[in-house]
Amino acid sequence: MAIVPQSLAQRTAVYLSDREYYSRIFKFALPIALQQLIFSSLNLTANVMVGQLGETAVASVGLANQIFFLLNLMVFGVGSGAAMFTAQLWGRRDIANIRRVLGLSLGISLAGALVFLVIALFFPEQVLSIYTLDPLVIAQGSQYLRIFGFSFIFFAITATFSLVLRSIGEVRLPVSVTIFALFLNIVMSYVLIFGKLGIPAQGIYGAAYAILIARGVEAVLMVLLTYARRLPPAGTPRQLFSFNLPFAKTVLRPILPVLLNEILWSLGITAYQVIYARLGTEQLAAVQISTTITDLAVVAFIGLGNATAILVGNLIGSGKEEQAQVYAGRSLLLSFLGSLVLGLALLVLSPFILSLYKVSPEVIGYARTFLLISASFLWLRMMNLIIFIGIFRAGGDTRFALLLDGFIIWLVGVPLTAYGAFVLHLPVYLVFLLTMSEEIVKWSLGLWRFFSHRWIHNLAETVAEVPLLQDSGTTQ
């Protein structure tokens, strides 16, 4: 009997027809995507409330948040690096080492938070003066930072526990706690900023107190519920901090590239903003509008990327490397198909969304062109997101990921964009198009690395092989 060759569409349908994959991936992807969507929406609401107080208030809070942005990068870099290990360790059900990794990352994150707290308390004027010379903005921002800074400790605890819990498949707890804290922040902001329920109006300082209260409650709930439910990371202090120097070196070796990657990438994004700002206020406003709209479409893929990282990491840790490659490939293909659909939807809905903005026709015109470019390249960006977040980090391939995401933006994207803007004096839409050169190079190198299978590194084995002075953990 002759074998009838299948078409590309048929082969794609067969490759994606795995009910177990969908059951497992959406179990994690949907809650994470929902959390990201709610976070973006409520964060926008809080910013709108501060915006009612005037430009000085907005500038003061915005600059103070730049300090937190740096802390966030550090904590996320350490926490997501630790999650690479804990995802694979959970595949082996190595709870003792999961607790040690949590303890190590928690200690580093808290140390960093303390440094930023000291800056917020004692040197806020000096730091904020780097960004602005406006004495009123510096004065208000400094006082805001002195209140806001105490939330750094709570944030370090929450973020570390959240990332580790996600990595072992415990998604609902961190999502639920974070959503509750976000709603609490909105309510407290409204009450304290504008003076409701008999409480005097605090202005922007009310916003700082609201964040402090919400993050304090969030951290307490995260830790209490983790221990109340006796989840795997819930170890005693002795179990959490029973690591030695060889263990710390083993864990930190792949984490440091993640941290450096976050720093280089964030500086690259800042460089893009500087280039657009030099081209004109209208151009910068149009880029920000199109980016805000496009980011709403990215929410679903952030969920898919994180869910893929959890599953792929678990499979590698349990020794199922071939299945990990297959699951990663399915997520990659799913991101391509899904982003094509969302890109088309973005083009269809963009006229309606842009009509909500009360800006000049020139800005709307620029934004419409930028959205066309963003929608056309959405598939490229989302495949890169899955490759970077969902695959390479899960496989512990952090050095190549550093090259892919941290250096390419500086070797390709920023130089070409700056050359087009300041040397060739190209129209702004072509300058915007040049930023996609970075994505093309990342996509090409990323696919080559993915199909080589060399991105798979069993971190769980390297940790398990490290001799400890005393095994005070348990496998309960």
- As a whole-number percent, the residues of the chain with pLDDT over 90 amount to 27
- As a whole-number percent, the residues of the chain with pLDDT over 70 amount to 86
Q: What is the mean pLDDT of residues 72-80?
A: 82
Lowest mean pLDDT segment, chosen from 6-10, 22-26, 217-221, 333-337: 6-10
Residue 61 has pLDDT above 80, yes or no: no
Which of 145, 104, 101, 103 is CA-nearest to residue 123? Answer: 145
Q: What pTM does this model have?
A: 0.74
Q: What is the mean pLDDT of residues 245-261?
A: 83
**Would you list the domain boundaries of the chain?**
21-243, 253-467
Which of 346, 309, 314, 342 is CA-nearest to residue 328? Answer: 309
State pLDDT tens for residues 200-233.
887 878 888 998 999 999 999 999 999 999 999 9
- A 10 A CB-CB count for 70 gives 16
State pLDDT tens for residues 155-178.
999 989 988 998 888 888 988 898
State pLDDT tens for residues 288-326.
677 777 877 787 788 888 889 888 988 888 888 898 899
Q: What is the mean pLDDT of residues 182-199?
A: 86
